[in-house]
Chains A and B, each alone.
Chain A
Amino acid sequence: MNVWLNFLIESLAFGAVFMYGSTGEILTEKAGHLNLGIPGIMCMGGAGGCLVLNIIGPMNLHPVLVVILGVLGSLAMSMLMGLIYSFLTVTLRANQNVTGLALTTFGVGLMKVIMIKLDPTVYLVGPKKIFRWPFAERTDALQYLGVLFFVAVAIALIASWVLYRTKVGLRLRAVGENPGTADAVGVNVTKYKYLATCIGSGIAGLGGFYNIIDYQASQEAYLSLEAFGWLSIALVIFALWRPHMTIIGSTVFGFLFSCSSYIANIEGITVTMAAKPLLKMLPYVVTILVLIITSIRNKRENQPPASLGLAYFREER
């Protein structure tokens, strides 16, 4: 296969990690909540899934059941994190930034504790083949396009459809733009905020699980998860708060992020160790460029939700 096409497919597969993370974050932000806990939530999602796989590993279950249980474990753990976040920020109206950062610190730490205790031969070796179905046996980049990759693309598309084509989406966007207005026409603001945050966290958590079990599929994979979490948050800006845009955005990010290791292989260019971090910085540079361009164009549709980061409580006299 052409080396560039190979690289592109791998970028696509790598990007799915961010695709999950930023689709989840977009849903949360559309409800007006800036969730900086995404890195921690992705970590916990990964840890939760691996924990379940580790438990069910010796039971020799049907492959489909393994996938389902693994995904459920990941969802449960990350949605629990989302629930903590929404309880603190929606019900108790705690500062969103502080809460999010605290969750990240908490999630990253707890994940490391859990992952060290798990046995990679149980949670990784067997399940990897199942999750990479149908291309598990290939040696080129196609091997990465497994079940969870397609799920990621589907979720991004469905999220866009829900946000822009359905009644639920209209209400969710209204909550993020102007919760007072939504409240006045009878939308249950608290319910929407909780649901968007928890579902968003669940989706983001799957990204962490996908990274450990499928894309990187190594026992060190969990160490890089936090960085991918921050990239996901940057990707939200790149995608201009549109879930379907994350499919393109995540591929670009994946491409830029891994080109430091690829350039050497493909074109025979040697990249010194010192230059690698510089190249890994590229996704953020691109994000800043996107921010500059959208700020200059100043189109209202490309701006973050108007009440992002603001706690809502009914006006009282």
Chain B
Amino acid sequence: MEKKIALSMRGITKRFGSVVANHNVDLDVYEGEILSILGGNGCGKTTLMNMISGIYFPDEGKIFKNGEEVVIRSPKDAFDLRIGMIHQHFKLVDLFTAAENIVLGINEKGQHNMKSVNSRVAQIAEKYGFHIDPQKKIYDMSVSEKQTVEIIKVLYRGADILILDEPTAVLTPQEIERLFEVLRRMKADGKSIIIITHKLHEVLSVSDRVAILRKGEHIATVDTCDATESSLTEMMVGKKVTLDIDRSEPVNVQLRLEVKELNCIDSEGIQVLKDITFTANSGEILGIAGIAGSGQKELLEAIAGLQPIASGQIIFNNPKKDKPVTFFHKSMYRVKELAAQDAFHDKEGKPMRLKGMSNAQIRAQVAAENVLFREDEVMNLRGKTPLEIRSLGVRLSFVPEDRLGMGLVGSMGITDNMMLRSYRKGHGGFVDRKKPKALAEDIIKELEVSTPGVNTPVRRLSGGNVQKVLVGREIAFAPKVLMAAYPVRGLDINSSYTIYNLLNKQKQNGVAVIFVGEDLDVLLALCDRIMVINSGKITGMVDARSATKEEIGLLMTQTEAPTKEVAQ
């Protein structure tokens, strides 16, 4: 049977400011097929689909539905054209029942007759094999039930083109299988289904055709039966691009951070980190690669003490050997306690017990730098407060999607933002403004932050400058472990290189740098080792000097036991 084209896009281009999200994309969707849209982070998959579902409006190009040109300006227009999108973040009213959510916004005459709504929902559920209780409130539902409500919401409106944005990201393997079963039934019913995903084995097991996007461009559309995991990966990651980043050889590599079998469970009860075990060394940049949302954020937050840990250890080796004791972080009580454990020796290497000394004598000895640490201090970061962890020199310069949300206060100037990290210093109830101001001026000069002055609210700076301020501040406190997540997201080339050089400088100073990035070329050019995580699990640790993009791409997208199922 000849298949009819349900929807086609021609020459679609979408720009956000100077960033081109989609460039000249052509795409066809047939009736009664499952089309996968495959691509790495930020390749424009979701943007493209948002243009079909009315969230964005294309700058250039045309969309045809059943051969006729259509204009989609709002989600409602899309609904009217029988196109429905199931977003990654569900759009449901928690307080309403499933049925109320399903009928919300539908324009029928008169009032909603909940009885007939319920029976129609039940009908749809039976037809495609869903399990749903229309009377159940959304806040009582599991993630997969919520997804079911979203899908039925779209079907109830009579959609014949369904777009699912990473539908499997939040589901368990059994739930995924059930979802695929439902999708296949819909396909048999003649509906067109588009799945956005980056999981190769899912692509291979459920879809008929795969469209591959890379950096906003449509690379190819292939029949799934002709594709293999490696051929798809190759198209996804593209050819290697050489970057001009100075990478020095690691010097004086010492074990700094040791994460052992770390497990984290988020507030919704989903396991976000599974048995994470790795080490980070001083004088080395450890890259973390993975599809966005694979647990990178949770991992860094767990180390920084911001994420509750279900089980596992985070061992921090504090380099203390032969360093004199100061009272800076330690009280007299703590010093005495450590002395009782034989932790100190004097300049000649003899044990230093401090026993029988008065407090004044101990103070004098400490002041004379005569009390030295015998060994490095080894401690478990688990159970320590974020403040304690920070004062140990474990610094998180987290640069999330929302730069101002974490770490900086938008309406305060650079000086004041510096003080957020140092307000505990200073005498009595007064803060010390001089040092933060000098630091702010240093950062502006060193990192070439373009700002009218130190007191200009950071909210008014451009994204790149805000990022420089954030990273600069964390580096200024002489960290021992520096964690940077997506520090160059949204930055132009020059600013990006400033940040890379900063990280490299830290590495040469003996800091253990952990760098979470999304651009594989950068990871390969900047890091010494690259750890790949996928759905909260480590799937590989590779040497950045010898690894290839395909290798990492496969590790990022493959789960441990890929289902080798051929598309039906």
Contacts and interface: CB of A to CB of B under 8 A. Distances in A.
Contacts of A185: 75-76, 79, 91, 104-106, 153
A306 B100 CA distance: 17
B137 A300 contact: yes
B328 interface: no
B16 interface: yes
Interface of A: 165-167, 170-171, 173-174, 177-178, 180-187, 300-301, 306, 317
B75 A177 contact: no
Contacts of A317: 16
Interface residues on B, range: 20 to 34
B57 interface: no
B92 interface: yes
Given A174-B104, A177-B96, 10 more contacts: A165-B111, A167-B112, A171-B105, A177-B95, A178-B93, A181-B91, A182-B105, A185-B106, A186-B79, A186-B107
Given A178-B92, A181-B93, A186 B16 contact: no
B338 to A, nearest CB: 46
Nearest to B140: A300
Given A186-B75, A187-B105, A181 B92 contact: yes
A184 B76 CA distance: 7
Contacts of B76: 185-186
A264 B139 CA distance: 50
Interface in B84-116: 91-96, 100-101, 103-107, 111-112
B111 A300 contact: no
Interface in B126-169: 137, 139, 153
A185 B139 CA distance: 19
Contacts of B74: 186
Contacts of A174: 93, 96, 104-105
B95 A187 contact: no
Interface of B: 16, 74-76, 79, 91-96, 100-101, 103-107, 111-112, 137, 139, 153
Contacts of A178: 91-94
A189 to B, nearest CB: 11
B93 A177 contact: yes
Contacts of A186: 74-76, 79, 105, 107
A177 B93 CA distance: 6
Nearest to B112: A167
Nearest to B95: A177
A166 B114 CA distance: 11
A186 B103 CA distance: 11
Contacts of B96: 170, 173-174, 177
Contact of A173 (B75, B95, B103): B95
20 contacts: A167-B112, A170-B96, A171-B104, A173-B93, A174-B93, A174-B96, A174-B104, A177-B96, A178-B91, A180-B91, A181-B91, A181-B104, A182-B104, A182-B105, A185-B79, A185-B106, A186-B74, A186-B107, A187-B105, A306-B94
A127 to B, nearest CB: 39
Contacts of B112: 167, 170
B91 A184 contact: yes
A166 B110 CA distance: 9
A140 B104 CA distance: 49
A61 to B, nearest CB: 39
A180 B105 CA distance: 12
Given A177-B95, A178-B91, A178-B94, A184 B75 contact: yes
A167 B111 CA distance: 6
Contacts of B107: 186
B81 to A, nearest CB: 13
Nearest to A303: B95
A29 to B, nearest CB: 14
B340 to A, nearest CB: 48
B16 A300 contact: no
Nearest to A315: B55
A183 B93 CA distance: 12
A158 B101 CA distance: 23
A170 B103 CA distance: 9
Contacts of A306: 94-95
B351 to A, nearest CB: 58
A97 B523 CA distance: 48
The 9 closest A-B CB pairs, nearest first, are A185-B105, A186-B76, A181-B91, A177-B93, A186-B105, A184-B91, A178-B93, A184-B75, A174-B93
Contacts of A165: 111
Contacts of B137: 300
B55 to A, nearest CB: 8
Contacts of B75: 183-186
B557 to A, nearest CB: 25
A183 B79 CA distance: 13
A166 B101 CA distance: 14
A169 B202 CA distance: 42
B94 A300 contact: yes
A174 B93 CA distance: 6
Contacts of A301: 95
A165 to B, nearest CB: 7
Max chain B C-beta neighbours (<10 A), residue from A165, A177, A182, A186? A186
Contact of B100 (A170, A183, A184, A187): A170
A175 to B, nearest CB: 9
B152 to A, nearest CB: 13
A173 B138 CA distance: 15
Contacts of B103: 170
Contacts of B95: 173, 177, 300-301, 306
A182 B91 CA distance: 8
A167 B96 CA distance: 13
Max chain A C-beta neighbours (<10 A), residue from B75, B79, B91, B103? B91
Contacts of B111: 165-167
Contacts of B16: 317
A181 B138 CA distance: 13
A177 B103 CA distance: 16
A88 to B, nearest CB: 21
Contact of A170 (B91, B92, B94, B104): B104
B93 A300 contact: no
A263 B94 CA distance: 46
Nearest to B74: A186
Nearest to A180: B91
A165 B113 CA distance: 10
A301 B139 CA distance: 11
A187 B96 CA distance: 16
A56 B308 CA distance: 70
Contact of B104 (A180, A187, A300): A187
A143 B52 CA distance: 64
A298 to B, nearest CB: 12
